[in-house]
Structures are given as C-alpha cells and as structure tokens.
Structure 1
Amino acid sequence: MIKLEHLTKIFHTQEGEVIAADHIDMEVPQGEICVLLGPSGCGKTTTLKMINRIVPATSGRVFIGGEDTSALDTITLRRNIGYVIQQIGLFPNMTIEENICVVPKLLGWDKARYLARAAELLAMVALEPRTFLKRYPRELSGGQQQRVGVIRALAADPPVMLLDEPFGAIDPINREIIQDEFLKMQQELKKTILFVSHDIDEAVKMADRIAIFDAGKLVQFASPDHVLAHPANKFVEDFVGSDRTLKRLRLVKVKDVMMASGPTVRPEDDLKHALRLMESRDHMAITMVDRNGRPIGSVYRSLALAKQGTCGDHHYGLRAIVNIDDDLRTVAALMFRHDTTWIPCVDDQGVFRGEVSQRGVTHYLGATYRRVEDAPEAHPHPATLESQENRSAHCD
C-alpha cells in the first residue's frame, strides 16, 4: 500500500547541507501498522511528513496503492490520507461534530452521511454521541480530545493514515486505554498506518513492522520480534534496551507456548488414578477440572502418594489461570506473584485447554537464538519441548 523509493530530504542551512532523510526505501503492506522509531532528530518525522508533502522531498518517490503520488496535486493527496499529530490539532471554534466532519464536507459528502459518520466514530471510541457531538474541544479532557483527533483522521475512510506521536502527550493510564481502543479499531478497519514514536514499548505493542532510524538512515526494518531478537547493529541493540528479551513477552500468546490438552482428573477420580497419570508424564502435579472441563484445583504427586481417597478430597486451589489469548507478560507476572512455575490455560468459555510452564516459556524464547543450522531440531513445537525437556515443570 505504501512504498518509499530512495526518499531523501536535504535541508540547506547557513552551516551547509543537513541530510534529514537519506535514500529511504521501505514498503508497508496493506492493512499493517509500521512504527517509525528512533531518537529525536533521526529523520522519522521528516520521512512521515514527506508522504503527504508537509515537507517536500528533495528526491525520491512515494507510491500509495501502486500510484506515484508525484502526479497528484497536494490537496487531493492530503484529503485521501488521514493525519494525526501529537498536539491533536482540533479546531477550538468548532464542535466535536464539526471537527470530525471537516474532510467529508470538503469531499462533497451529503449532510446525512457525514453526520452519521461522526456519530458512528464517536461510539467506536467509547464517547457517547449524544453527549459529545455538540461539545467544544475545551470541554473535553486531553484523552478525550486525543480520541477525537484519531477518529477525525478516519472520518473520510482514508486507505492510509499517518500518525505523528499521537499518544505522546497523554498520561500513561489513558495512553494504554487509547492504544487498546486504536488496536481494536484497526482489527476491524485494517488501515495502512505509518506511526512515528520514540517509545520502544509502544512500538512493540502497536506495530506489525518497525522501521528504526539513525542519523537520517533507515538502519533496520523488520517485525517487532525480529528487531528485539536480532538487532541489526550496536545502535539498534542499545536503543531497544538490554531487556529486549523481556519485551518479547508481549508478542507471544499463551496458545503458542502451552502444552495443549495435558492430562486432567475429576473430583470423583481416585488418587491412585491421578498418581498413575502423573507418573506416566513424570509430572509433580495435575489439574483437576469440573464436569464442564473448567479447572478448579490441582492434585500433587506427594499428596497422592501419602493419602487415600478421591481427588476432590485431597486437592489445592489454583493459584492462577490464564486465557490462551493472554500474552506471556501476563504469564510471567502471575508466576512471580504467586510463586508458581506452571499455570492452567483456558479458552473464553473457561474450559481447560492446556498448561503453560516457566521452562516452556524459556525454551520458546530461546529457540530464536539457536543456530539456524540446527533447524528444525532447534525450533520444535512448544509442546514437544514440554514433553521432552520439561517433565518436571509441575514441581511447585
């Protein structure tokens, strides 16, 4: 959807030429978010602004949907690109409804259509249309204004959006909320987005691809996981931080790491049955589920050896449960909080689907760093790793 070809910007100053962007080559597929990342003055914002000609390019070309935009007049180009800035930029003398409808009006939409669009977009970001449509920007909080700034860029349904640090001025709590709302919108709308940030954590959360800039040059362009696992050079390594492996926890879902459909017992099962299951898997504990398959406790091997009776009479409550769509950051937090090395995993209905272990997480992350020539043995399925190398994972 977006292709930059040798895009270059040279500023002429009294001290001489300053190369702000140096032959940037980059392609962003349709429906993806690409975060332009780097320190202040690295060229990321200049590159973004050359796409809609707020900053004219010195050389190079920009293609949108395969069309060379140099053939388009600036007004037509900008009306087909949504643009959001950190300072929000709402018109203070216009109502929220009027702000959202600016571009659709310019494009000649009929009144009923653009008014319906304004109400639809406000509802999408959890702002009640009847409450907010007729308010002015000064009557909204900073976070609410930021939401309006984002949906105003969406009003005319542009295929491409440019975001220049859109959440940078928002407090951390509201920033997380707005980011989450934006990602939910993106799942539905599938816009192609270039997003400037200086925050590696924000980039990891938001991006399908990350473009890292240094001194006007694009030094790495890859998926967030690849950037974190394989920094292109010392600059990228320092920029993403020494805790980059921990940052990868946000990128991996529980379902990618868990040992699926492990053995379970029911409350009415005999302890000896539970013991045989644990001995066959060399596990130190087993999950107990109810008649609907929902985890309700755990039975430990030491208890099954020492006691007689049913699992329902001799079990412990679960310390934590995770959803299969949770990320590994959630898993790590729960493991540390509850001093446990394994957690049962459930689906959206609460039904047991498997278990995730500390060792399984470690092996999954570590597989990325193993030598390529060891493949496929170096990159087995997580469940294989569990069964072969983590038989003692359940030893709380």
Structure 2
Amino acid sequence: MIRLENLTKVFDTPDGAVVAADHINMEVPRGKICILLGPSGCGKTTTLKMINRIIRATSGKVFIDGQDTAELDTQELRRNIGYVIQQIGLFPNMTIEENITVVPKLLGWDKARYRERARELMRMIALEPDAFLKRYPKELSGGQQQRIGVARALAADPPVMLMDEPFGAIDPINRAVIQDEFLKMQQELNKTIMFVSHDIDEAIKMGDRIAIFRSGKLIQHSSPDDLLASPVDEFVESFLGEDRALKRLHLVKVRDFISSCIGTVKPTDSMETAQARMQEYGYTVGIVMVNDHNQPIGMISRAMTQITSGYCGDHFENLPAMAHLDDDLRKVVSLMFAHDLVWLPCVDDQGHLHGHITQRSITHHLGARYRVQADHDAVAGE
C-alpha cells in the first residue's frame, strides 16, 4: 500500500549539507502498521513527513496503492491521508464536531453525512457524542484531545494514516488505554499506518513491522519477532535492550500458546478422585475445580488430598489468578510472579476453562525461538 523508493532528504545548512534521510527503501503492506523507530535525529520523522509532503523530498519516490504521489496535487494527496501528531493540533476556536468534520466538509460531504460520521467516530473512540461534540478542545483532558485527533484523522475514511508520536505526551496509564483502543479500532478499520515512535515497547505492542533508523539510514525493517530474535548489528541489539527476549512476551497471546489438555474435578468428586486425577495428569501442585458450566471456581491442592477425605466442594481453595485467552505472555508471567505460581488456568470472556499455561512452557518457547535463530545464523555464517 505504501512504497518508498530511494527516498532522500538533504537539508542545506550554514555548515553544509545534512542528509536527514538517505535512500530509504521500504514497503508497508495493506492494512498493516509499520513503526518507525530510532534515536532523536535519525530520520524517522523526516521520512514520515515526506510521504504527505510536509517536507519535500530531495529525490526518490513515494507510491500509495501503486500510484506515484508526485502525480497528485498536494492538497488532494493530504486529504486522502490521515495525519495525527503528538501535539494533537486541534483548532481551539472550533467545537469537537467542527474539528472532526474539517476534511469531510472540504471534500463536499453533505451536512447530515459528516455530522453522522462525527457521532460514529466518537462512539468508536469511546467518548459519548452528546456529551462532547459541542465542547471546545480546552474543555477536554489531554488524553481525550488525543482521541479527538485520531478521530479527525479518520473522518474521511482515508486508506493511509501517518502518526507522529501520537501518544507520546500522554501519561503511561492513559497511553496504554488509548493504545489498546486504537488496536481494537484497527482490527475493524484495516488502515495502512506508518507510525513514528521512540518507545520500543510501544513499537512491539502496536507494530506489524518495525523499521529501525540511524543517522538517516534504514538499518533494519522486519517483523517484531524477527527483530527481537535477530538484530542485524550491535546498534540494533543495544537499541532493543538487554531484555529483548522478555520483550517478545508481548507478541504471544495465551490463545496461541495454551495447552488444552487439562484435568479437572467437580465439587461432588471425592478427594480420592482428585488425588487420582492429579497423579494421572502429573500435577504436583493441585487441580482446578469447575462447576457444571466448566468455569473454574477453586483449586484442590495436592497436600490437601493426602490428609483429608470427603468431597472436593468441602475442601477447595480460591484460585489466586487466572489468565485470559487474549492476554499476552508478559501479563501471564507478571501474574505468576506476583502470586508465586508456576501455572495458571486459562479462560474465555464467559469464564469457561480452555486449558492451562506453565512457566516451564513459556521458558521453553522463548528459548526455542532463539535457538532456531542461532542455528540459522550459524548455517548462514558457514
């Protein structure tokens, strides 16, 4: 959907020419998010701004959906690209509705259509239309203004969006909430997005592809998984940090990793049954007790089965934590550490049990990924 071909920008300064972007070649597939990442002054923002001609390229080409954008009028180009910046850039003298509908009005939409679009987008960003559309930006919090900035960029339903550190000025709690909401929106909208960030954790969380820049050059462009497993040089490796193996936990969801083979008991089962089932499944800690709807309601510990007779429903303990199918492994590991656990039952939105996940399996999974990459690199070196 987006293709950059030898895109270059040279700034003339009193001290001579400065190459801000040096023959950048990259592609962003349709419906994917590509994060441009790197230290300050590395060329990522310059590259982004050349796409919608906020900065004019010195040389090279930009293609959107196969069309050379040099053939397009600048205004036409920009109206078909959503643009979100860190400073938000809302017009202070306009209401929220007027801010959101600026581009649709310029495109000639009728009043009923653009007003309904504003209401639709407000619902999408989890802000009540009747409560916010007639307000002015100064009446909203920073996080709410940032959501409006995203809504305005989406107003004319552009196929491409450019985002320049859009969540960088928001506090960590609200930033995480807005990131999650944006990813949910993207699942429905399927936009092609280029997104400048300086935060490696944000890049891993949000990007389908990550492009690492240094001194105006594109150093590596790959999936987050490949980037973490196989940085191309020492600069990329140091930029990712020494905990890059742990960062990969963000990329794996419980539903993709769960072991569905799990033994359970019910409240009406005897403690002898619980003990036998633990032995059958090789459980050393305990076994999950479920109700008639296969929802976990407690746990029978192995120690308890060895000293107590009777029924499971009379001797169960509360489960300290459970994992959700849509949780990533980083959250799972955090829960395990917080509650001193080596395994967690895994449930869906209705609380139905689907399986379990263990510390050992997570460790093996991470190790296997890097062992495969190390073997691949060794073969390539030969």
TM surpasses 0.5? yes
Report the CA distance shift for 1:184/1:307 in structure 2 as closer, same or farther (over 3 A). Answer: same
* 1:161 match: secondary structure: strand
Confirm or deny: 8 A CA contact 2:123 2:129 kept in the other structure. Answer: yes
Structure 1 gap segments, 5+ residues each: 376-396
1:76-129 deviation line (CA, Å, top 9, x unaligned): 111110111111111122221111111111111111111111121122212222
Q: How far apart are 1:237 and its partner, in Å?
A: 1.1
Aligned match of 1:313: 314
Q: How does 1:1-396 map to 2 (within 5 A)?
A: 1-284=1-284, 285-371=286-372
CA distance in 1, matches of 2:351, 2:277: 23
* 1:48 match: secondary structure: helix
Code of the aligned partner of 1:10: V
How many pairs does the alignment contain?
375
Q: How far apart are 1:266 and its partner, in Å?
A: 1.3
Moved more, 68-77 or 281-290: 281-290
TM-score under structure 1 normalisation? 0.91
Aligned match of 2:379: none
1:366-393 deviation line (CA, Å, top 9, x unaligned): 1111136979xxxxxxxxxxxxxxxxxx
Moved more, 166-175 or 185-194: 166-175
Q: How far apart are 1:274 and its partner, in Å?
A: 2.4
Q: How far apart are 1:292 and its partner, in Å?
A: 1.3
* 2:371 match: secondary structure: coil
CA distance in 2, matches of 1:258, 1:120: 37
CA distance in 2, matches of 1:261, 1:348: 20
Confirm or deny: 8 A CA contact 2:230 2:373 kept in the other structure. Answer: no
Q: How far apart are 1:234 and its partner, in Å?
A: 0.9
Code of the aligned partner of 1:266: K
Report the CA distance shift for 1:295/1:93 in structure 2 as closer, same or farther (over 3 A). Answer: same
TM-score under structure 2 normalisation? 0.94
Q: Percent identity?
A: 66
CA distance in 2, matches of 1:300, 1:7: 63
Aligned match of 1:382: none
Q: How far apart are 1:204 and its partner, in Å?
A: 1.3
Moved more, 124-133 or 47-56: 124-133
CA distance in 1, matches of 2:6, 2:260: 47
Aligned match of 2:380: none
- Superposed CA RMSD: 1.6
CA distance in 2, matches of 1:198, 1:93: 31
CA distance in 2, matches of 1:39, 1:374: 31
Q: How far apart are 1:165 and its partner, in Å?
A: 0.8
Q: How far apart are 1:63 and its partner, in Å?
A: 0.7
* 1:370 match: secondary structure: helix
CA distance in 2, matches of 1:137, 1:44: 29
CA distance in 1, matches of 2:283, 2:319: 16
Q: How far apart are 1:311 and its partner, in Å?
A: 2.4
* 2:162 match: secondary structure: strand
Confirm or deny: 8 A CA contact 1:35 1:196 kept in the other structure. Answer: yes
Code of the aligned partner of 2:153: A
* 2:364 match: secondary structure: helix
Q: How far apart are 1:225 and its partner, in Å?
A: 2.0
CA distance in 2, matches of 1:282, 1:145: 54
1:317-364 deviation line (CA, Å, top 9, x unaligned): 212111111111221121111111111111111111111111111111
Code of the aligned partner of 1:144: Q
Confirm or deny: 8 A CA contact 2:229 2:373 kept in the other structure. Answer: no
